[in-house]
Copies of this chain bind each other. A is one copy, B any other.
Amino acid sequence: MKVHTDYLWFNTKKRHEFVRITDDIAGIVSASGVGEGTVLVSAMHITAGVFVNDWESGLLHDFDVWLEKLAPAGLNYQHHQTGEDNADAHLKRTIVGHQVVLPITNGALDLGPWEQLFYAEFDGQRRKRVVVKVMGV
């Protein structure tokens, strides 16, 4: 059994950003030498997420509008009494999820035709990490 660990770093220019990382993960899986198994991709910061959806700019815009509606910035959150201003980012990342596990078959990501993996930043403009753990044979 092989276990291979890697990390991706992000420092987005905007506070909110969706960054496609499918190819980065495919590269790490290839480097791992794992032919059959899974890869865990998990945000290590609690105002960021990782999710699978469509690589279509209109839909990504819809996601942004929708998350703002469900978890608005600027409300009178108790978390802000600590000096933070990012409670909404904690909530938004909870909706999209902060990790996925992708299957590996025949040495490659086993994804459906439209599945793309995204890093979802909700409080950016600072350095953050995603951990990548490949396991299998």
Chain A interfacial positions (CB closer than 8 Å to B):
1, 3, 5, 36-38, 40, 42-46, 51-54, 56-59, 61-63, 66, 70-71, 77-82, 87, 90-91, 94-103, 105, 110-115, 128-129, 131, 133, 135-137
Which one of B56, B70, B79, B103 lies within 8 Å of A133 (CB-CB)?
B103
Contact partners of A79 in chain B: CB under 8 A? 54, 56, 58-59, 62
Q: Known contacts being A91-B66, A96-B94, A105-B5, is A54 close to B46, with CB within 8 Å?
A: yes
Provide the residues of chain B in CB contact with A38, threshold 8 Å. 40, 133, 135
Docked pose: A112 CA to B135 CA in angstroms: 20
Number of copies of chain A assembled together: 3
Instruction: Return 15 A-B CB contacts under 8 Å, by A number.
Output: A1-B137, A38-B133, A38-B135, A42-B101, A45-B114, A46-B115, A53-B90, A56-B82, A58-B81, A59-B79, A63-B94, A66-B71, A99-B101, A112-B128, A112-B129
Q: Chain A interface mostly helix, strand, loop or mixed?
A: mixed
**4 tightest CB-CB pairs across the interface, nearest first?**
A44-B112, A58-B78, A3-B36, A59-B79
